[in-house]
Copies of this chain bind each other. A is one copy, B any other.
């Protein structure tokens, strides 16, 4: 009897995923396509600058502060989950540990125009968005209370976006989220054994193998990870070792914009403009350098992944990453 699935282990975190060997066609997925509906009251649109708190960073070729004329604008989140003004207190309570809700929570508005997305903006504009994140991270880094930057984007309401206007969120946290901690530990163990970066090894193996490659440019490679948790999961990694996103140069931002734009356009074509979550994985502020390798993880939301997956850490992926990568390579954009 032929096996219908196999278990695959992610070499970084050790998580096991069940990958089906009978891949449905991308068109078999039923999901919402993301359309950006017009919104005359959108607080992120050009001309509505007074509807947000004052800008923290801006790329504005023309005009004055908090007015029109900008291309990318960073403002504090209006409903922040954590606040910079809180004092940092780390307390124990018997077995338990808690930390006061100190942190930064900012919004990078990616375009003055309501309908644009990272897939449509063009490489120069995307590079400015990437640079804005870098600039904010460099500034926030001076606050020594912070341990981690959570940089993420929910695209489409089904992926959790509260506002339709294209934006990325940046949180600076005094704690390291579990996934980042586990990635760092996995990469550290590999480095301790081999004195090589695990992600560099993955890039080398995947570029030689080729089956899971999506696009390979000069500075960045995009691939479907071996133990993809969900259909069309795609990672973008700098081909040259680097552990911190916030150390990217303007040149890196232009190279990354080119790869990111192409990946998003291929995903849009293959999956009919899917909702997605994108997270930049960068080294914790006290860690990294030799053994950790920053990268971007993009997870299109084309199946209903439930509570069970996150509470058990056990994912079932109906799409073989090899099939997803082949499909993404082959669509015309």
> Would you call A7 and B101 a contact (CB within 8 A)?
yes
Residues in chain B near residue A95, CB distance under 8 A: 11, 198, 201-202, 205
Give the interface segment out of A57-65, A115-123, A177-185, A251-259.
A177-185
Minimum Cβ distance to chain B for residue A247 (Å): 21
Task: Check if B159 sits within 8 Å of A83, measured CB to CB.
Answer: no
Q: Which residues of B contact A180 (CB under 8 A)?
A: 312-313
Mark the stretch among A12-20, A25-33, A34-42 that contacts chain B: A12-20
* In-complex Cβ contact of A306 among B9, B85, B159 (8 A): B159
Residues of B within 8 A of A154 (CB): 306-308
Could you say which of A134-142, A283-291, A297-305, A325-333 contacts chain B? A297-305
Q: A225 — nearest CB in chain B belongs to which residue?
A: B96
A94: nearest residue on chain B (CB-CB)?
A: B205
- Asked if B175 contacts A1 (CB within 8 A), the reply is no
Judge whether A279 and B160 touch: CB under 8 Å: no
Chain B residues within an 8 Å CB radius of A174: 7
User: Contact at A86–B177, with CB atoms within 8 Å?
Assistant: no
Is A107 in contact with chain B by the CB < 8 A criterion? Answer: no
User: What 7 pairs across the A-B complex have the smallest Cβ distances?
Assistant: A178-B313, A310-B310, A160-B306, A5-B101, A177-B314, A179-B313, A277-B307
A to B CB contacts below 8 Å, 29 in the list: A1-B86, A3-B86, A5-B81, A5-B82, A5-B101, A6-B99, A8-B97, A9-B96, A9-B98, A11-B97, A13-B178, A14-B178, A14-B181, A16-B99, A16-B173, A16-B175, A16-B177, A18-B101, A93-B226, A95-B201, A159-B306, A159-B308, A173-B314, A177-B313, A177-B314, A179-B312, A180-B312, A180-B313, A301-B306
Residues of chain A whose beta carbon lies under 8 Å from any beta carbon of chain B: 1, 3-9, 11, 13-16, 18, 20-21, 80-83, 85-86, 93-102, 150, 152, 154, 159-160, 173-182, 198, 201-202, 205, 209, 226-227, 229-230, 277, 279, 297, 299, 301, 304-314, 316
